[in-house]
Amino acid sequence: MRPSRAYAIALRHFYLLRGSVARFLPLFAWVAIDMVLWGFMSRYLNSVAAAPGHDFVHTLLGAVLLWDFFTRVMQGVTMVFFEDVWSRNFLNVFATPLSISEYVGGLVLSSIATSVVGLAVMLLLASTVFGLTFAAYGVMFVPFLLVLFLFGIAIGIFGCAVVLRLGPASEWFVWPIPALISPFAGVFYPLATLPAWMQAVSRLLPPSYVFEGMRTLVSGGTFSGTALLWGGGLAVVQILLASAFFSRVHRYAVRTGLIARYSAESVS
């Protein structure tokens, strides 16, 4: 694997971001709006419904921040891939010495850069305007972010594979994935709220360990690092599975000529 090739894929996205307000603004605009909306919502709930010792800023706004971070990571991966779809660039890219691992590495590299921008804006707004203090999560805040980052990468790679296999129009299957996952991940409520079959699904989702842990810490309880480790392990396995899926879809696309036809927009 040559890092310079992965860098080339990330550099391409940097050029696009630098030259387009429409691409650069969404890196932080929507998450900033989320912070403002849920920040005021948290304040309001604190004023009318908070039990003694309970702070909605840390449970609700903190949850939105973490969930938006996951979404930004996932979209950070898929957006770079979609740029190749939209500019009909597959033939140019895949007829080069670039390997699939280098290409996926480029998607991840780009996602790291773009999601850090969103995270920085969210942290700034949440802490300065709404008083979100990260001491409430303690040292676990970093592992929380790491698990969500890994899961975002896994879902991003999976989404790219789906679009490669099913064609450009299937990007509409990918955009709503975070919304589909969120009820199972228990972003805003304890997993015990869910029926048993949904809890079974939750146990396979790394974010569910993060949000359960976050709520436990905020309410003053002790949270087992083993549970989060399990979530992190799941996320790593899911990255491997998603990469294998992408690689399999790519092999199918090479065998059937799908990549060459993609450029002609003949895939439906």
Partner 1 sequence: MSKVLSVSALRKSYGDTVAVDGVSFDVGHGEIVGLLGPNGAGKTTTINMLLGVLEPTSGSIRIEEVDLARQRSQALERTNFAAVYSPLPGNLTVAQNLRIFGLIYGVKSLSARISELLEQFDLVRFRDTRCGVLSSGEQTRVALAKAMLNRPHLLLLDEPTASLDPSTARDIRGRIRDFAAQGHGGVLWTSHNMYEVEEVCHRVLFLSRGKVLLEGDPRTLPREHGRASLEELFIAVAREPLALGRA
The binding site for partner 1 (CB under 8 A) comprises 2, 4-5, 7-9, 11-12, 15-16, 19-20, 83, 87-99, 251, 254-257, 259-260, 263-264
- CA-to-CA dists, residue 240 to 101, 155, 192, angstroms: 11, 11, 29
Maximum distance among all Cα pairs of the chain, rounded to whole angstroms: 63
Distance CA 57, CA 46 (A): 8
Closer CB to partner 1, residue 219 or residue 263? 263
Closer CB to partner 1, residue 70 or residue 90? 90
Please state the closest distance from residue 93 (CB atom) to partner 1, in A. 8
Please state the closest distance from residue 261 (CB atom) to partner 1, in A. 10
Closer CB to partner 1, residue 7 or residue 134? 7
Closer CB to partner 1, residue 12 or residue 215? 12
Distance CA 188, CA 175 (A): 21
Please state the closest distance from residue 2 (CB atom) to partner 1, in A. 7
Name the strand (E) or helix (H) holding 263.
helix 258-263
Radius of gyration of the chain (CA): 20
- Among the listed residues 217, 216, 183, 215, the one whose alpha carbon sits nearest the alpha carbon of residue 201: 183
Please state the closest distance from residue 111 (CB atom) to partner 1, in A. 18
Closer CB to partner 1, residue 90 or residue 211? 90
Please state the closest distance from residue 73 (CB atom) to partner 1, in A. 23
Whether 250 and 103 have beta carbons less than 8 Å apart is answered as no
